[in-house]
Chains A and B, each alone.
Chain A
Amino acid sequence: MTLLSRWFGVRVPLTSSERLVLGIGAFALPLLFWSIVSYVPYVWHPMVRISDPGGVDYFQPDMLVDRDVFATETGNMRQQNLALPAGIPANPVYLPAPHEVLRAFYTAFTTKPQQRDAPWLHESLLHSIRIIFWGFLISSLIGVPLGILCGTYNVIGRLNEPFIEFFRYLPAPAFGALAVAILGIYDGPKIAIIVIGTLFQQVLIIANTTRKLDFALVEAAMTLGTKRLRLLTHVVVPGTLPDLYRDQRILLGWAWTYLIVAELIGTSSGITWFITQQARYQHFDNVYAAIMMIGFIGLGTDLVLARLGRAFFPWDRPGR
């Protein structure tokens, strides 16, 4: 079997070294693409960074102008026999090069913020994580038990799910103004938006997962003399726990996606405030650093949770 036919066999398992190399490649490829666009001259580079304004009165050193404008002005100067402007191809300000973002990453944690009373990046992040934590916790405290009950008892499911099905289509940010009116302008409404965004999906997902439990296990327990509430606590809950745990990992990711909108409500705060501030001053390297930070935190948490899951549920084989 040639390498190519093995690689493109449907669901052919990979060796562990292949998995590692491909996993690194998953990050290396986008980085490579970004580097090519940033560092190889004439690949994209639609702007010109002025090094010498020459005779153009409104050009200034380090100014970014469109390539077309630069060409027109060079033509004009040539006609008027004035000094020609000089410059090098550059990317727009909103696409910093990888090393600039890396530097921003470093300086964000090591140097004081430029504006007075502005929070450090890590302070903003901590605030955001706190919002997520409370939002997801409150949502789970209601959503997980309710979902399990809906999936176990058809009466409860039928009584709740049609309404939840309707409610989940209402966009969570639409409740922003209402949340501020009820909960004030600080963290309350932000947590509420995360709860509204997560809870309704959560109930439906958890309920469906609970329904996927093999009913024969419930029947087996009944023939062993298990009755009523014990069927829930001794069969349904332990039987669906690994799948519920997996659901919760996915739902935690959803909670993060509501964060940015939530933090714009009331007084802007957390990582969103940091990002909007930096964007206002055109520090796009800081903006990218902050956005990536969210990605790293999300991926990091998920990897830790996945590992914990394997420790919690030794009987749960992924290939089941």
Chain B
Amino acid sequence: MESSAEAGFDYRAQSADVRARFDRLKAREVILETRELGKIFRSAQGEVTALRGVDLQVRRREFLCVIGPSGCGKSTLIRMLAGLEPHTSGQVLLDGKPVSGPGRDRGMVFQGYTLFPWLTVKRNVMFGPMMTMGDTAAESLAGTWLDLVGMGKFADAYPHQLSGGMKQRVAIARALINQPRILLMDEPFGALDAQTRTRMQTHLLDIWRNVDITVVFITHDLDEAIFLADRILVLKAHPGEVQELLEVPVPRPRDLGQLTTPEFLATRRRLDTLIHQPGPPAADADEEAIRPQVIRFTNVADNVE
């Protein structure tokens, strides 16, 4: 907190516009809620608490990012929200009803491209609707959503012919076509190169503005979290639990020029202190045990640097 004071800008300071936007957000209904959500992995070596006591409310059309150091259980969290991983304590409520198992009301975009390789781009997007409606209806719907993500021209291509960014566009269309109540994204841009990632972030915000969709987005990229999110849930590791839920003071609509604004930098500094603060001694024991011994391997006469 002293670091933000030094910079002369408190990350908690919100302009009138931003405060009004948060007030409107908080007035909306809760889509997804977790109560005392926890997960304990039981193995032969004993029990490992991956997450405990996560209380969270995600409101309609909110964009929530989840960050945390490696091993904080952010992937476990989103997989429990999706119903892909059973939780061992607490509850996940969608529209007030407890969640058990995956369902089409919670769309998901994975980091690994999970397009079905045997289906064309269009058939991939039609996959969800095909379960409930006829072929032709699903096909025209798929056309609309492919155009929305800018992939209309590639309707008949197979996934292996697409680049990573294009695959994720299709994956987003495939999830959104089901009109889920919430879109869960597990480091969706983590495998993309820097330029593509930036383009995809802007594109995702565009989609989010135009579609009535609530997003929970996992990332380990702090700038990405600030750029995208309304609120950022910061987790800490060992055991994984909520450290802070932070409201991003950067106004909307967002653009890349905001990366250097005082609000952005103040938030960034705050996240840095949260993520990189020294944990308890047991934390990350494996990583900490690795101590590289850097010695000079260059020739004595070598005068480069």
Contacts and interface: CB of A to CB of B under 8 A. Distances in A.
Interface stretch (B112-120, B245-253, B273-281): B112-120
A223, A241, A242, A314: residue with the most chain B Cβ atoms closer than 10 Å? A223
B112 A225 contact: no
A224 B128 contact: yes
A309 to B, nearest CB: 13
A315 interface: yes
Given A219-B110, A222-B102, A225-B131, A239 B118 contact: yes
A207 B175 CA distance: 30
B114 A225 contact: no
A230 B130 CA distance: 11
Given A225-B103, A225-B178, A314-B158, A220 B110 contact: yes
A315 B117 contact: yes
A224 B131 contact: yes
A239 B108 contact: no
Nearest to B116: A217
A223 B107 contact: yes
A221 B124 CA distance: 10
B131 A235 contact: no
Given A216-B112, A219-B84, A225-B128, A238 B178 contact: no
Interface in B16-67: none
B127 A221 contact: yes
B112 A241 contact: no
B12 interface: no
Contacts of B175: 223-224
B116 A223 contact: no
A315 B160 contact: yes
Contacts of B127: 221, 224, 226, 234
A313 interface: yes
A224 B110 contact: no
Contacts of A314: 158
Contacts of B82: 223
A11 interface: no
Nearest to B112: A216
A216 B110 contact: yes
A315 to B, nearest CB: 4
Contact of B118 (A216, A226, A313): A313
A270 B115 CA distance: 49
B106 interface: yes
Interface in B156-184: 158-160, 174-175, 178, 184
A317 interface: yes
Contacts of A307: none
B159 to A, nearest CB: 7
B160 A225 contact: no
B104 interface: yes
A146 B178 CA distance: 33
Interface in B115-169: 116-119, 127-128, 131-132, 158-160
A217 B160 contact: no
A225 to B, nearest CB: 3
Contacts of A317: 160
Contact of A235 (B101, B116, B184): B116
Contacts of B118: 238-239, 241-242, 313, 315-316
A216 B114 contact: yes
Contact of B158 (A226, A242, A315): A315
A226 B84 CA distance: 13
A320 interface: yes
Nearest to A217: B114
A222 B84 contact: yes
A220 B116 CA distance: 9
A238 B116 contact: yes
B131 A223 contact: no
A123 to B, nearest CB: 42
A245 to B, nearest CB: 12
Nearest to A315: B158
Contacts of A238: 116, 118-119
B81 to A, nearest CB: 11
Interface in A300-320: 313-317, 320
Nearest to B159: A315
A214 B114 CA distance: 9
A223 B84 contact: yes
B155 to A, nearest CB: 15
Contacts of B119: 238, 315
A320 B160 contact: yes
A219 B131 contact: no
Contacts of A316: 117-118
Contacts of B116: 217, 220-221, 235, 238-239
Nearest to B106: A223
B160 A224 contact: no
B101, B110, B118: residue with the most chain A Cβ atoms closer than 10 Å? B118
A291 B82 CA distance: 59
Given A217-B114, A221-B127, A223-B107, 14 more contacts: A217-B116, A220-B110, A220-B114, A222-B83, A225-B131, A226-B127, A235-B116, A239-B118, A241-B118, A313-B118, A314-B158, A315-B119, A315-B160, A316-B118
Interface of A: 214, 216-217, 219-226, 230, 234-235, 238-239, 241-242, 313-317, 320
7 contacts: A216-B114, A220-B110, A223-B84, A223-B108, A224-B107, A234-B127, A316-B117
